[in-house]
């Protein structure tokens, strides 16, 4: 199956099975490398972002455990995912991700590193390192409703899923004298920008964070 065929098939399915609303997708550039930083509620998140309006496709990082499932591996390989070993420090995946971004790919990544239990959990620093090495903009995305998508579909109901994009931003130049502090502050910036796009019940770990309050107040 060609990439274009897979894109058309997934676009058809997600819009027939769910009531999806893409908000402010114009923030995603139509061309050029960029990181799509999203919260992660469900396995539905990858196909939902894959068919982001205005972009040919958005690929993603995918845990290599899915390689053992032939159908998933075939679909994800067709979608051009970068496989990553989440159990270990996978520097090869970081290099492959940066290489893809430098080729002009839009790549989705969940800073939380795994699916959450419905609310944001603390983000990991990997996305900040990738953004710094690739020098590409980050577009935050808040997805709400996908956590109940499959359950409702099995009851023949169409879940309402909202995908809200925020303005692109870049991280400050890395502070070599305080690398750990730069990573922490950069990760918090990314996660708070995601949280600002979500209803309060999803804020989780970042509820009450000073940076989230600034973003919500327009500062």
| pLDDT exceeds 80 at position 47 | yes
Give the span between the Cα atoms of 37 and 158, in whole angstroms.
25
Question: What is the three-class DSSP state of 113?
Answer: coil
pLDDT tens digits along 121-178: 999 988 898 999 899 999 999 999 999 998 999 998 999 999 999 999 999 988 889 9
Give the span between the Cα atoms of 138 and 166, in whole angstroms.
9
Give the span between the Cα atoms of 178 and 82, in whole angstroms.
30
pTM, full prediction: 0.92
Q: What percent of the chain has pLDDT over 70?
A: 96
Contact 138, 35 (CB under 8 A): yes
Q: To 10 degrees, what angle do helices 210-217 and 179-195 make?
A: 50
Residue ranges of the domains in the chain?
3-217
> pLDDT-derived band of residue 1, with 50, 70 and 90 as boundaries?
low
* Pairing status of strand 138-144 against strand 160-165: antiparallel
| pLDDT exceeds 80 at position 46 | yes
- Residue 33: the pLDDT is 94
- Comparing 200 with 113, the larger pLDDT belongs to 200
pLDDT tens digits along 76-124: 788 878 877 665 555 777 888 888 899 999 999 999 988 888 899 999 9
- Residue 162: the pLDDT is 98
Contact 26, 54 (CB under 8 A): yes
Q: Which two tokens stand for residue 192?
A: 């708070």
Q: What percent of the chain has pLDDT over 90?
A: 65
Q: Could you give the C-alpha distances from 198 to 51, 89, 97, 180, in angstroms and in order?
A: 20, 30, 27, 27
Q: Which two tokens stand for residue 110?
A: 């969940």
- Residue 117: the pLDDT is 80
Domain at 3-217, CATH homologous superfamily: Glycerol-3-phosphate (1)-acyltransferase (3.40.1130.10)
């Amino acid at each position: 199956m060609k990439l274009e065929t897979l894109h058309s098939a997934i676009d058809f399915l997600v819009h027939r099975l769910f009531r999806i609303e893409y908000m402010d997708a114009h923030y995603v550039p139509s061309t050029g490398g960029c990181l799509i930083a999203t919260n992660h509620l469900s396995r539905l998140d990858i196909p939902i972002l894959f068919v982001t309006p205005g972009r040919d496709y958005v690929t993603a990082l995918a845990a290599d455990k899915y390689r053992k499932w032939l159908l998933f591996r075939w679909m994800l390989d067709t979608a051009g995912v970068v496989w990553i070993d989440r159990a270990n420090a996978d520097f090869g995946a970081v290099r492959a991700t940066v290489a893809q971004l430098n080729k002009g790919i839009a790549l989705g990544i969940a800073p939380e590193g795994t699916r959450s239990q419905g609310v944001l959990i603390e983000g990991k620093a990997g996305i900040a390192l990738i953004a710094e090495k690739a020098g590409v903009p980050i577009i935050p995305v808040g997805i709400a409703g996908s956590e109940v998508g499959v359950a409702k579909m099995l009851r023949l109901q169409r879940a309402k899923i909202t995908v809200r994009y925020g303005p692109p931003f870049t991280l400050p130049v890395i502070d070599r004298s305080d690398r750990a502090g730069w990573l922490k502050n950069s990760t918090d910036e990314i996660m708070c920008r995601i949280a600002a796009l979500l209803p309060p019940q999803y804020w989780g770990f970042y509820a009450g964070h000073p940076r989230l309050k600034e973003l919500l107040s327009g500062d």
